[in-house]
């Protein structure tokens, strides 16, 4: 099994994530907000925190994705992206594990396959963790 990024301090709604979102406005901030909401909606066991300055979403304590807003695009990065099915060829990157999708405008949120990748990343991490350890 690949190494997991474990964050015991992840919480249901982290105030630091809300603060990060408040500092990112405009179209790229809107994209980031929508992505974070979609990641949160993956399951009742999603948790979040700021890691390396970016909102990071977890299944229980295991990170599966993070979001960032840059000067010209927003991005969603998947910690185990190299193993995700990507029939629409949205994923970029050559890393051993991580892959990302760049979004340059809110219209990019409608790209076919984007939300399927989010769901696949969540379910992939859920499967890697095995039966839920949550109380």
Report in angstroms the alpha-carbon separations of 28 from 3, 18, 69, 98: 31, 15, 6, 22
The per-residue pLDDT for range 10-37, each reduced to its tens digit, is: 999 999 999 999 999 899 999 999 999 9
Instruction: For strands 46-51 and 62-69, give the pairing.
Output: unpaired
Please state, in angstroms and rounded to a whole number, the distance separating the CA atoms of residues 38 and 36.
5
What is the model's pLDDT at position 135?
42
Taking the CA atoms of residue 118, residue 9, residue 127 and residue 84 in that order, the dihedral angle to the nearest 10 degrees is 30
- Beta strands at 54-59 and 99-103: parallel, antiparallel or unpaired: unpaired
Exposure of 134 by Cβ count < 10 A (0-12 exposed, 13-18 middle, 19+ buried)?
Answer: exposed
The residues facing 6 across adjacent strands are 62
For 25-55, letters b (16+ CB in 10 Å) and e give eebbbbbbbebbebbbebeebbbbbbbeebb
Tens digit of each residue's pLDDT (9 = 90 or more) over 23-81: 998 999 999 999 999 999 999 999 999 999 999 999 999 999 999 999 999 999 999 99
Q: Which positions ≥6 away from 86 have C-beta within 8 Å?
A: 99, 113, 117
Helix (H, G, I), strand (E, B) or coil at 42: coil
């Amino acid at each position: 099994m690949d190494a997991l990024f474990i964050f015991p301090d992840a919480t249901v709604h982290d105030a630091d994530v809300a603060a990060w979102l408040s500092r990112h406005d405009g179209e790229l901030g809107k994209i980031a907000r929508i992505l974070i909401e979609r990641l949160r909606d993956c399951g009742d066991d999603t948790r979040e925190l700021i890691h390396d300055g970016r909102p990071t979403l977890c299944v229980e304590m295991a990170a599966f994705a993070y979001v960032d807003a840059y000067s010209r695009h927003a991005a969603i990065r998947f910690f185990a992206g190299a193993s995700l099915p990507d029939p629409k060829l949205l994923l970029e990157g050559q890393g051993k594990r991580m892959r990302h999708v760049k979004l340059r405008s809110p219209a990019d949120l409608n790209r076919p396959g984007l939300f399927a990748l989010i769901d696949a990343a969540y379910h992939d991490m859920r499967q890697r963790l095995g039966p839920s350890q949550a109380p």
